[in-house]
Amino acid sequence: MSSDRYSRQVLFPPIGPEGQARLRRSRVAIVGCGALGTAQADALARAGIGALRLVDRDFVEESNLQRQTLFDESDARDSLPKAVAAARKLKGINSQVEVEGIIADATSANVENLVGGAHLILDGTDNFETRYLLNDVALKRGIPWIYGAVVGSYAATLTVLPQRTPCLACVFPEPPRGGHETCDTAGVIGPAVAWAAAIQVAEALKILVGREEDLHGSLLAYDIWRHRWQPVRPQRDPDCLACQKRQFRYLEGQAPTVMRLCGRDSMQIHPLESRDLNLEALRARLEPFGPVRANAFLLKCAIDSYELTVFADGRAIIRGTEEPAVARSLYAKYIGS
């Protein structure tokens, strides 16, 4: 490969030839290959990262193509697993990068293996439960990780250096209570994704080339449509269960459980803590996607070939699948983490 490939990047003084060599030796794990994950992977492959590991539980659908930049119509037609489709595209973009696509749902049982050997973890997930899991494993193993979230036109990122900066649990000690908007209920626009991924990748490059002094050090939040900018400088919480007391609840399996209901072609998802859902508000959000029936205790919504039964405490029974990853994906999409 011609030495011209990275010439413009090497001309940038904070990177230079030494930084480029460090990137070539770097290994990054990206968990989630949706909008954020594909943008992150594309940028890092073009930057000359040595190895990328892509982890995702889902497959490509037509609705992904508006913002998930590594996929095309043939991927959606063939319902290719996202990790596989993304890995194929990246190998064509930069054959010098070692790319591994893993079809898996990140859980407490497998996440340490999924991120093992990585110098950095990037968050491309769609729910807080998995983000807390990434936070736990990053803290336990001392691996920097970069949180990212996008919904509608709003995006946010946070860079976590274990034992040196606030962790996700310092900033959000508990997951959001009640139901909240997701990309599948509130929509999402590509520019918001691009902004968040660009910040995440810039932070990743700083860490990987040894320029941690240039990290922004904030929880950055930006509504790109309304031009509302919200940088917050969080502080480390001396009572944080995760980074101070090293109680890794999510990594130790004290996280939402997914279980198969015998003989019912259904999965039950039980959150770690009661969520006190507003069923009327949830009903209004779900009605565009299928018929909804509700009472004071639960609601039922038919979406495609699935039926979601959601209880006020956040517990849900998802009929039409016996695959934990599918159930978790539907829960994250339509109910929120």
Does the residue 160 lie in any domain?
A: yes
Query: Quick check: 273 pLDDT over 90?
Result: no
Q: Higher pLDDT residue, 268 or 264? A: 268
Does the residue 249 lie in any domain?
A: no
Query: Quick check: 68 pLDDT over 90?
Result: yes
Does the residue 30 lie in any domain?
A: yes
Query: Quick check: 308 pLDDT over 50?
Result: yes
Does the residue 199 lie in any domain?
A: yes
Lowest mean pLDDT among 104-108, 179-183, 215-219, 306-310: 179-183
Report the pLDDT value the prediction gives residue 111, as an integer from 0 to 100. 94
Report the pLDDT value the prediction gives residue 183, as an integer from 0 to 100. 83
Total-model pTM: 0.82
Options 167, 170, 183, 301, the catalytic residue: 183
Does the residue 264 lie in any domain?
A: yes
> DSSP 3-state assignment of 7?
helix
The pLDDT tens digits of the residues spanning 22-66 come to 999 999 999 999 999 999 999 999 999 999 999 997 888 898 999
Does the residue 250 lie in any domain?
A: no
Asked if 146 and 290 sit in the same domain, the reply is no
Query: Quick check: 271 pLDDT over 50?
Result: yes
**Structural domain boundaries, residue 324:** 257-334
Query: Quick check: 1 pLDDT over 50?
Result: no
Asked if 277 and 224 sit in the same domain, the reply is no
Counted domains in the chain: 2
Does the residue 252 lie in any domain?
A: no
Distances (CA, A) of 283 to 177, 212, 268, 288, 337: 17, 45, 19, 9, 17
Last residue of a domain, one of 232, 265, 291: 232
Asked if 176 and 37 sit in the same domain, the reply is yes
Asked if 277 and 324 sit in the same domain, the reply is yes
Is 167 designated active site? no
Does the residue 237 lie in any domain?
A: no
Asked if 165 and 313 sit in the same domain, the reply is no
The CATH number for 284's domain is 3.30.310
For residues 258-270, give the mean pLDDT.
72
